[in-house]
Structure 1
Amino acid sequence: MPSAAVFTDLDGTLLNHDDYSYAEALPAIAELRRRRIPLILVSSKTRAEMAQLCAELEITDPFVCENGSVIVVPPAWADVYPAEREKLVEEAGALLDYRGANRERIVQLLKTMKDDFAFSGFADMTVQDVMDCTGLSEGAAAKAMQRCASEPLLWRDSAAAMNDFAQQLGRHGLRVLKGGRFYHVMGECDKGDAVRYLLSIYESHDGAKVGSVALGDSPNDLQMLKAVDQAVVMPHPDGTYMHDDGLAGAIHAPFQGAKGWQIGVQAALSKLDEEKQ
């Protein structure tokens, strides 16, 4: 069993906001591999997007898609994953634990709300539209549109309207979370739920405490950051940080994206190591 586990958001955190590069984070990723500390990606991105990144980084641990709506379980975890096997969906050599709402239901509901609120969802966009608002390549944008349990929105209405929008979604068992670029409509789950669940698996396997670190920059990361021993808050593009009273002991990375991630991971692991002494 690992002595620690690192959970991380992607856009603006492990990945640079503009060019999506992780190059400056590679030394810290190599250090995690050397210490056999799992790196668990936790993102609003789709399984198609994240599977490619895991392959590039040679990550074989579980990963969490669409803000906690889906956990992708590697084959090696099949015997230790506690969810009922019949509820898991086997697809392309992995087991999928669907924890959120069905995207088709979400999109159908959003269609009925178009007359009352101003927004555009991925279901309203072409691949070119997604490329224009994210800076992704055509292939990456197509992968970003392969969603199964959430719908990203560009919100074009007021803050007061957002409150009404969220209340209406709640009456249908759905919620809306703010990410770095989009609002995300999804089921009643979040990144924190998935992180706590995966930590419980690591800890129950050998019956020992696993030190935990999480890195993120946006409101949809908040519950994940609160679920771990050491949170690392990444700066926004304008240099400001997300604030919450529950993050009083958080480390604040000095830079956005991969460069700041590298420093934040090193600082968090050093802090965990000091606490063990």
Structure 2
Amino acid sequence: MANRVIVTALDGVLLNFTANSAATADCALLKPVMASLKAQRVAVIVFTGRDRAELEPIRQQLEMVDPFITESGSGIFTPVNHNPFEPALGEKIGEYYLQTLGCPYVQARAGLRVLANLISHPLKGFGDFTVEQLERLTGRSAAYAHQAKAREFSEPFMTPQSVDLAVLAQTAEEMGFKVVLRAAEESRFSELIGAKAGLREAITEVIAAYEKRLKPAEKLQVLGLCDRPEELADFATSMPSTHWTNVTIHTATVDWIAAVEAWLA
């Protein structure tokens, strides 16, 4: 039974992105690596702030079959035909088992309007923009802008420049939400998510499900890959039942492949 899991960020770590899609050259480099990992029964768990509609084409291109985490830890999707867990993680909905940590999208949209009223400052979410406007703001193609508007559990919104972000986050918490704040150099958008959602919560749940599959003497080996050291920094100490290794990726895909090969050696 496999006891090795890779937990990886998507953007700027596993892949670079052009305006229209994941970089074709990166996918060409990754595809044989993914096939090798699958043959060795090493699970690759991708986490992202993107929604499922954005991630699915990439997974299909790379022929990935493992669980994945969307919308900043709001949803955990496990393909029904490749489910490694017993019992399954979440409810069967179509071709996935879905473990929902976030709130329904309509609730996030309504929450953003209330939050804007409470801080007395307008907040524009993805749902307030047309596809054409979102295309211009994000630099993505129309097809990708459509996918980016297919949110299920959270609402990205333009990070306000003239609001105390600590007050924004505190107000959201008092309402029963969380705010994932992003620096201007990373994205123009922050994200309103449900109170029980979050990257830490989602990763912890997935890793715990993998640990349940192990024999008593086995220990799960986990490789964490991201471009911000703080993102996965304390998992090694907060999950002592696993053997957790983190690597910071500076050059997407190339560094990712090198880190994986070194870990498996």
Is 1:144 matched up with 2:152? no
Deviation at 1:146, TM superposition (A): 0.6
Specify every segment of 5 or more residues in structure 2 that has no aligned partner in the other structure, as ranges: 237-243
In structure 2, which of residues 188, 209, 220 is the aligned counterpart of residue 210 of structure 1?
220
TM-score by length of 2: 0.81
Q: Match of 1:206, SS?
A: coil
Q: Distance in 1 between matches of 2:233 and 2:50?
A: 18
Aligned to 2:12: 12
Q: Distance in 2 between matches of 1:199 and 1:57?
A: 22
Identity %, equivalent residues? 25
RMSD: 2.4
Q: Distance in 1 between matches of 2:245 and 2:221?
A: 8
Q: Distance in 1 between matches of 2:199 and 2:33?
A: 23
Counterparts of 1:178-189 in structure 2 under 5 Å? Answer: 178-179=181-182, 180-181=186-187, 182-188=189-195, 189=197
In structure 2, which of residues 72, 90, 93 is the aligned counterpart of residue 90 of structure 1?
93
Deviation at 1:124, TM superposition (A): 1.2
Q: How many matched pairs? A: 243
Is 1:262 matched up with 2:257? yes
Pick closer, same or farther for the CA change 1:66–1:27 going to 2, 3 Å: same
Q: Which amino acid aligns with 1:124?
A: D
Aligned to 2:241: none
Moved more, 71-80 or 192-201: 71-80
Counterparts of 1:94-173 in structure 2 under 5 Å? Answer: 94-114=96-116, 116-158=120-162, 161-173=164-176
Specify every segment of 5 or more residues in structure 1 that has no aligned partner in the other structure, as ranges: 235-252
Q: Distance in 1 between matches of 2:125 and 2:260?
A: 34
- Runs of 4+ residues deviating >6 angstroms: none
Aligned to 2:201: 193
In structure 1, which of residues 200, 223, 230 is the aligned counterpart of residue 245 of structure 2?
230
Deviation at 1:33, TM superposition (A): 2.6
TM-score by length of 1: 0.78
Q: Distance in 2 between matches of 1:217 and 1:79?
A: 29
Deviation at 1:177, TM superposition (A): 1.1
Contact 2:45 2:67 in 1 (8 A): yes
Q: Match of 2:116, SS?
A: coil
